[in-house]
Amino acid sequence: MKIDERITKLAENILKNSLNLKKGEKIYIEAFSASTKDLFNEFIRIAAKMGATPFYVYNDNSFVKNLVENSTPAQIEQYAKWHSSLMDEMDCYVAVRGYDDLFALSDVPPAKMKAYNQIYYNMVHFDRRIPKTRWCVMRYPNDTMAAVSKMSCKALEDFFFEACLVDYKKMGKVMAPLKKLMDKTDKVRIKGPNTDLEFSIKGLKAVICDGKMNIPDGEVYTAPLKTSINGHIQFNTDTVYGGTFYSNVYLEFKDGKIIKAESRANNDKLQKQINVDEGARYMGEFAIGVNPYIRKEMLDILFDEKIAESLHMAIGNSYNDETFNGNRSNVHWDLVLIQDKAHGGGEIWFDDVLVRKDGEFVLPELKGLNPDKLK
């Protein structure tokens, strides 16, 4: 069967540009679900042709569910040690995730899921993959994604490749003034429907995301100082976290701590999530999305956090050295607020200067980030 040339181009872009894979290096390629097969194959083929050695693992959330539900923490630790030893040898890691059953983990007992996340993700990803390899994580379109995004499979494919194959070199250059501004900003204020939130980002560097570690990409992120957040915020996109669906999450803060949290769906599970550990009551990230081809929620955070005219904040762990605000947690849950007029509008202020209104950047040096300019 002939492979769509866009799949080959995407695999080449990620291996050559995102990961800068070199001859003689080792790359860990992990795929989730059968729908990722074509891209998975292209990663293996192209990596080998480039002179690197591919080590590949096929996974699925149905496998994870059975492992987690039927294993003891000691068994999970043994499983994690094997993946950790493999990751220790790698120069690069790429994950192709195309979940056929988006909610496969929704009925896993919370205590079991917590143990798995604490052991497996800490050992394999937070302790090894993130700090020690060059890595890229991405989704792949399938029937499930088409259904939840309310798009036909063909429309989803075309949207996917537009968003993933955007000119990241151009995007990176245009994002530089936003990073420069965020690097010197102290006070941030976010205003909008049921939202009035203030916090400081003073002293924490902003990071440009231009196709290196996530595909699709398109955000500039930092973190709020841990105890600086006060006020309230109404996120207006649906989200799936840990296999559970949540809708329009609302948070209130006092001195950085979440003192009230509500979700229109599965509110009881939201309360459990923010009590997983001490860090889950604090925030680990603040970011502004700019991908001009992503204009609506997809119920997939790798897309939704890049929505043009949006911002997002993450409950829990702050894990990048440049933006680390001191908060540690087994939770890292991104929540998205779209601020275009269709979603009620809103404003972002830096040190009492209006930066963005109703999703559109208003400062001259930032207008190139508006969707009509960035395409």
The residue-averaged pLDDT of 165-177 equals 95
The residue-averaged pLDDT of 121-134 equals 92
Lowest average pLDDT, out of 99-108, 171-180, 253-262, 326-335, goes to 99-108
Token pair in block for residue 324: 């680390």
| pTM for this prediction | 0.88
- Strand-pairing partners, residue 251, are 233, 261
Residues 6+ apart with CB under 8 A from 72: none
Looking at the chain, the whole-number percentage of residues with pLDDT higher than 90 is 87
Question: Strand pairing of 230-234 and 250-254?
Answer: antiparallel
Strand blocks (E) in 133-183: 134-139
Token pair in block for residue 286: 């603040």
Token pair in block for residue 32: 């989730």
The residue-averaged pLDDT of 92-101 equals 91
Residue 183 buriedness (CB in 10 A; 0-12 / 13-18 / 19+) = middle
With bands split at pLDDT 50, 70 and 90, how would you rate the model's confidence at 17?
very high
* 99 contacts 36 by C-beta, under 8 angstroms: no
* 77 contacts 178 by C-beta, under 8 angstroms: no
Residue-level pLDDT at 322 = 83
Tens-digit pLDDT profile for residues 263-307: 999 999 999 999 999 999 999 999 999 999 999 999 999 999 999
3-state helix, strand, coil in the chain (%, to 5): 40, 25, 35
The residue-averaged pLDDT of 149-153 equals 91
